[in-house]
Chains A and B, each alone.
Chain A
Amino acid sequence: MYIIVVGGGKVGYFLSLALLSEGHEILIIEKEADKCKVIAEELGSVVMRGDGCEVRTLEDAGANRADLMVAVTHRDEVNLVACQVAKHRFGVKRTIARISNPKNEALFKMLGIDVTVSSTNLILEHIEEKLPTHSMSHLLTLEDGDLEIVEVNVKPDSAVVGKRVSDIVLPVNSLICLIINSARGAQVPTGSSVIEAGDHIIAVAQPEQEMELRTALTG
């Protein structure tokens, strides 16, 4: 494939490096002379100095035969315009734009950018996935009793989904005291209450058993 990469910063550089090694034809368009020089030294003659939003630059880059445009500068508006010019002026079929402000995702999609990659959202998703603390939050510490009240948000892939409370093995001295369901509201559970995805569980536990409780409810 012939791929035009707009932006020769770190993202553009490493992206191009990977795409080159996969055998694609790459042209990086970069505004700054210094960056162009470094890229040319490291990757060879795959870089052109210019503004990737300019019709003339894209013309020189042969955008009309490009299969894909990837705009990865650090400025959302530049990435948007580069993709739009490629698509509407040169008929590039597929455009990918990097986005910094997650709020721009909807606008870019609406304006016909095929794929948007929001680094901010990607990192956020990873935090939500990888950091268990995110699905369990402290509500209150009862100092006298050496107890904590915590809230756990039950994810669809959690092992407790569909289980009865009496079947969940909890650490000693911990207790599920409340299940908040979006349809039924808050309920004090009995042994036969069933946990559903999306439920919020309010539980009491000793601080040292927090990890164990977390594993029991989110694992």
Chain B
Amino acid sequence: MKIVIMGCGRVGGMLAGMLDESGHQVTVIDIDSWSFRWLPRSFGGKALVGDGTDVETLRMAGIEEADVFVSTTQGDNRNVMAAQAAKHIFNVHKVVCRIYDPLREELYRSMGLETMSPTKLGANALMNIILGKGG
């Protein structure tokens, strides 16, 4: 699959590496080239410096041919905006959006975005560990 990832932090970088490793065609976008240090040395995909909330940058990243778009920057609002552009302007088949704020995550999920809240997942995982239900 062709996959575009916006935001190359710990999560974005690791995810890009994993997808690349398993044979997918990955392009990572980040506003700061210093972030590409999070990519594994073996990374064979593309790394593009640019603002993923800008439709031109998304085009340059090959969003028009992409099967999957994932937004994993630190900013919920940036993630939401880029994900909606990917979904509604570029009709990307699968769009996944990271939203830290559980309330906003709920709202955008109800509006049809596929979302993931690390806050909720993290709190639940910790809760399970504390209560001994396995993590």
B88 touches A111 (CB 8 A): yes
- Give the Cβ gap from B83 to chain A, nearest Cβ, in Å: 11
Contacting residues, chain A, for B98 (C-beta < 8 A)? none
A85 touches B107 (CB 8 A): yes
- B24-49 CB mask vs A (1 if < 8 Å, else 0) is 00000000000000000000000000
A88 touches B103 (CB 8 A): no
- Give the Cβ gap from A80 to chain B, nearest Cβ, in Å: 5
The contact of B85 among A55, A75, A107, by CB within 8 Å, is A107
Determine the residue in chain B with the shortest Cβ distance to A101. B54
- Give the Cβ gap from B102 to chain A, nearest Cβ, in Å: 9
- Give the Cβ gap from A11 to chain B, nearest Cβ, in Å: 18
Which of chain A's residues 67-112 have a Cβ closer than 8 Å to chain B? 75-78, 80-81, 84-85, 88-89, 101, 103-104, 106-107, 110-111
Determine the residue in chain B with the shortest Cβ distance to A106. B89
The contact of A107 among B56, B78, B88, B101, by CB within 8 Å, is B88
Cα–Cα, bound, A111→B76 (Å): 17
Which of chain B's residues 76-120 have a Cβ closer than 8 Å to chain A? 76-78, 80-81, 84-85, 88-89, 101, 103-104, 107, 110-111
Interface of A is mostly: helix
Interface of B is mostly: helix
- Is B72 positioned at the interface, with any CB of A under 8 Å from its CB? no
A107 touches B54 (CB 8 A): no
Which of chain A's residues 37-88 have a Cβ closer than 8 Å to chain B? 53-56, 75-78, 80-81, 84-85, 88
- Is B75 positioned at the interface, with any CB of A under 8 Å from its CB? yes
Determine the residue in chain B with the shortest Cβ distance to A75. B77
Given contacts A77-B78, A106-B89, are A111 and B84 in contact (CB under 8 A)? yes
Cα–Cα, bound, A147→B33 (Å): 51
- Is B18 positioned at the interface, with any CB of A under 8 Å from its CB? no
B89 touches A110 (CB 8 A): yes
Cα–Cα, bound, A161→B107 (Å): 53
- Give the Cβ gap from B61 to chain A, nearest Cβ, in Å: 15
Which of chain A's residues 139-183 have a Cβ closer than 8 Å to chain B? none
Given contacts A54-B103, A55-B104, A85-B104, are A107 and B89 in contact (CB under 8 A)? yes
Contacting residues, chain A, for B77 (C-beta < 8 A)? 53, 75, 77-78, 80-81
Query: Number of A residues contacting the other chain (C-beta, 8 Å)?
Result: 21
A103 touches B56 (CB 8 A): yes
Contacting residues, chain A, for B84 (C-beta < 8 A)? 107, 111
Cα–Cα, bound, A110→B107 (Å): 18
A110 touches B103 (CB 8 A): no
Given contacts A53-B77, A81-B80, are A107 and B107 in contact (CB under 8 A)? no
- Is B14 positioned at the interface, with any CB of A under 8 Å from its CB? no
- Is B55 positioned at the interface, with any CB of A under 8 Å from its CB? yes
Cα–Cα, bound, A110→B87 (Å): 11
B89 touches A88 (CB 8 A): no
A80 touches B104 (CB 8 A): no
A-B contact pairs, 7 of them (CB 8 A): A55-B107, A76-B53, A81-B76, A84-B80, A84-B111, A103-B54, A111-B84
Query: Could you tell me which A residues sit within 8 Å of B by CB distance?
Result: 53-56, 75-78, 80-81, 84-85, 88-89, 101, 103-104, 106-107, 110-111
